[in-house]
Amino acid sequence: MITREQFGEAVDSRSREPIFEKMQKVRVGIAGLGGLGSNIAAALVRSGIGALTLADHDTVELSNINRQLYTPADIGMKKTDAVRKILCGISPCCEIDTHFIRVTAENAVSLFGNCDMIIEAFDGAEDKAMFISTIMSEINDVPVISGSGMAGFGKANDIVTRQIGKRLTVCGDGVTDVADGDGLTAARVMICAGHMASRAVEMILKGEV
């Protein structure tokens, strides 16, 4: 078992400036633990994030394995439990709060109100719009990152990070909808998740959180 100190040294090992202690001070909320949320959580934990608040109401299914962090052994588990198991296997120093619940306009603030940054990682377009509208109006100042448009197998470089106003970042190609029928592929979903996690790390290390 590696210690907190060993993990922190490894996170910082090739960086001029310390990364780990800055990351340790931050709590990130992630709404949805599918292809975006599970992969974003793993990326943040690998970079030494101090605390995560994770919410999802689904269990792991076979149809998730094509793009989500889970393995077939996790099928049938609550995603909150499965992701906790995986994340705790990566880092000994991330406090993980999980909520096995459907996130709604009514409970979003009580779930994520104590987070330093909030990431929208739902699958459904209406859930995305509801969550962004709710969080941005009811929680002040905290940066918000959202993902929209990563379905199919189009060009990787169509997926971009866009800053909208002071608080909101939207990552994705903005147009490819899973309803178009071209499916979801791991690489493209992970690119979008990577954009979102990268923006989170950028803001944390630049002291913008």
Enumerate binding residues for another protein (CB under 8 A). 32, 34-37, 105, 121-126, 128-130, 132-134, 136-137, 146-151, 164-166, 168, 170, 172, 174-179, 184, 189
Smallest distance, Å, CB 3 to another protein?
A: 35
Smallest distance, Å, CB 26 to another protein?
A: 23
Euclidean distance between the first and final Cα of the chain, in Å? 31
Q: Which is nearer to another protein, 177 or 202 (CB)?
A: 177
Q: Which is nearer to another protein, 95 or 177 (CB)?
A: 177
Question: What three-state secondary structure class fits 112?
Answer: helix
Whole-number Å distance between alpha carbons of 33 and 17:
31
Whole-number Å distance between alpha carbons of 59 and 13:
37
- Alpha carbon 185 to its chain centroid, in Å, reads 17
What does DSSP say about strands 117-120 and 27-31: parallel, antiparallel, or unpaired?
parallel
Smallest distance, Å, CB 186 to another protein?
A: 12
Q: Which is nearer to another protein, 29 or 35 (CB)?
A: 35
Q: Which is nearer to another protein, 10 or 167 (CB)?
A: 167
Smallest distance, Å, CB 82 to another protein?
A: 17
- 79-90 vs 35-46: helix crossing angle, rounded to 10: 20
